[in-house]
Amino acid sequence: MSSSILPLNLDCSENIGSYMNLWLKSLHKYSVAEINTYPTVTNAITIVTSLAYGWTSDYIKMRSPIVFFSLCVCFFAAVNLAVWDGVPFGLKWASYYLTGFAQGSGPVFLTMVNEVCAGDSLERIIVLGSTNSIAYAFNAWIPLLSYNTTYAPRFLVGNSITVALIVCAATTLALAVYLERRDNARKKMILSKRTKPPVR
């Protein structure tokens, strides 16, 4: 459940969004101050969405819709930046900013993992440990290959890989939600059989 989603969030938010400055520089119409300032809006978006995701997920008592929403927004942004040619200037700009929606769902996702594994401390340790380990492992080498600055400003390979990771993450999350609901239904069925009074 955990292995594909968190690496995706890191890949989408930290890699796509962090290279907006190279795109602005390639346009040759912004000052150095503007090139350094405009991309920081993505960080502000991440802060706002982190708070909004947390409050919303607590209010609706559900975590997976928030993560799905984050994946959809990042998918839209990554597709636009992968296509690149023919994408309007304003949509490219917006797509870079939309990558800020991804990283904010990380805490909600980790909360979801904790809740799913609440009944088994060993399972929770293994799942959370593997989640963080895989996330950092992915983020250590994928950007070096897929977001090599020689490909700037388009990053066709990197953005295409991100699109594929998003699809894998959404599929994995959907499967995890299905399996969790199935397991909960089985537990309720077993519990109801145990509590059913004996037939005389």
Kindly write down the DSSP assignment for every residue of 36-97, as one continuous string. HHGGGHHHHHHHHHHHHHHHHHHHHT-SHHHHHHHHHHHHHHHHHHHH-TT--HHHHHHHHH
pLDDT at 3 over 50: no
> Taking the model in full, what pTM does it have?
0.83
Region 137-151: mean pLDDT is 79
Q: Where are the domains of the chain?
A: 5-195
User: How do residues 60-87 score in pLDDT, each as one tens digit?
Assistant: 988 999 999 999 999 999 999 999 988 9
Tell me what the mean pLDDT of segment 1-15 comes to. Answer: 49
* Mean pLDDT on 40-51: 93
**pLDDT recorded at residue 1:** 47
Cα–Cα dist 13/4, whole Å: 15
- For position 30, what pLDDT does the model report? 93
Euclidean distance between CA atoms 162 and 81, whole angstroms: 10
Q: How confident is the model at residue 150 (pLDDT cuts 50, 70, 90)?
A: confident
Q: Which CATH superfamily is domain 5-195 in?
A: MFS general substrate transporter like domains (1.20.1250.20)
- 146, two tokens: 């897929």
